[in-house]
Amino acid sequence: MTNTTCYNTLSDDLAARLEKYPQTLAAIKRDKNQPMIPVNYRPSRVEVYCDGKLVHQEIAGQITYSVEVDRNYSPVVIEWAYDGELVYALLDGKRIFNRLYE
């Protein structure tokens, strides 16, 4: 089963905004044909990025990196990666990529 990425159905406006985040776009293109993540999968590394910057990392269930952000900060792009692969992404609060079962 392939993923349920929403990238191919983005509005022109959202697609244009995503072009401003080349790392996110590259990750989507790289991982869009990867299979869905199995429900029982437990990644050894989890990373969360806001606007292309690492804000949280866990390795083997231990937090190895985390930054505080201003409570008024609202990132344009939020990405979740498991073991170096993009699994979920939001752009302006709209899902644009999803490899997680719902």
Q: What is the pLDDT of residues 57-102, one digit of tens each?
A: 999 999 999 999 899 999 999 999 999 999 999 999 999 999 998 7
Residue 43 lies in a domain: yes
Residue 63 lies in a domain: yes
User: Phi/psi of residue 68, each to 5°?
Assistant: -85, 140
Look up residue 8 and give its two tokens: 């191919």
Which domain range does residue 90 map to?
7-98
Count of H-run helices and E-run strands, the chain: 2, 6
Quick count: other Cβ atoms within 10 Å of Cβ 47? 21
pTM (2 d.p.): 0.86
Residue 37 lies in a domain: yes
**In which order are the strands placed within the sheet that holds 77-82?**
62-66, 53-59, 45-50, 77-82, 85-91, 94-98
State how many domains the chain has.
1
